[in-house]
């Protein structure tokens, strides 16, 4: 029986690398994979999914208005599995559409992404995944102090913690650092 999976973690925990390795594993078994990413994520190019360790694959980009259930049925119904990178940027409706595919077509959907933003609030797509995914697992990351990293701290141009701003600001190691909550609170107090 297929499931909707949510695999989440803080920045730098290898979410994208694991998504691409999972894609490879399915393809190695002659299964056809639909790799999706939200169109808002343009860091590595419009249709590229790239990990920090250099793995990369072409992906189908989807806008926030795209009906993923309809897209699958009309263009990709020959696929055996769906993998979504940066799933936190999906809308709650899109998460429901992916769940419909799982239920109606018995197709596994694996979503990889962040749970919370730089203010420790859930992204709408992640919130919906926590509500309805059949399998939820955390990909661990480590703070510089050695504790488990749970916060995606946003940095300004001077390396100081930012506590206000738009929920979405694309960036990598230049803009974000994973921290434990204790370190985040300490550095935030100094900002």
What is the tens place of the pLDDT at every residue in 28-62? 999 999 999 999 876 777 788 777 777 878 899 99
- Annotated catalytic residue, options 86, 97, 131, 134: 86
> Has 66 been annotated as catalytic?
no
The model carries a pTM of 0.90
Q: Which residue has the tokens 């072409």?
A: 58
What is the tens place of the pLDDT at every residue in 157-187? 777 777 766 565 555 556 778 889 898 888 7
Q: Cα torsion for 58, 64, 66, 67, to the nearest 10°?
A: 110
**Options 3.30.70.520, 3.40.50.300, 2.40.170.20, 3.30.1540.10; which CATH number does 4-138 get?**
3.40.50.300
Q: d(Cα 97, Cα 12) in Å, to the nearest integer?
A: 28
Outline which parts of the chain fall under CATH 3.40.50.300: 4-138
What is the tens place of the pLDDT at every residue in 54-91? 787 889 999 999 999 999 999 999 999 999 999 999 99
């Amino acid at each position: 029986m297929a499931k909707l999976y949510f695999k989440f973690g803080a920045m730098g925990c290898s979410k994208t690398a694991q998504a691409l390795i999972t894609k490879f594993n399915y393809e190695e078994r002659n299964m056809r994979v639909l790799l999706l990413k939200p169109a808002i994520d343009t860091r590595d190019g419009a249709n590229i999914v790239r990990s920090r360790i250099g793995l990369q694959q072409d992906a189908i980009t989807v806008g926030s208005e795209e009906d993923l259930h309809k897209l699958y049925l009309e263009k990709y119904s020959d696929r055996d599995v769906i993998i979504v990178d940066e799933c936190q940027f999906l809308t709650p409706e899109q998460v429901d559409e992916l769940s419909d595919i799982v239920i109606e077509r018995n197709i596994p959907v694996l979503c990889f992404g962040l749970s919370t933003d730089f203010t420790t609030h859930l992204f709408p797509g992640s919130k919906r995944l926590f509500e309805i995914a059949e399998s939820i697992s955390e990909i661990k990351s480590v703070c510089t102090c050695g504790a488990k990293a749970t916060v995606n701290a946003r940095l300004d141009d001077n390396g100081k913690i930012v506590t206000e701003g738009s929920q979405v600001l694309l960036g990598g190691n230049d803009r974000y650092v994973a921290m434990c909550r204790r370190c985040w609170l300490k550095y935030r107090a100094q900002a």
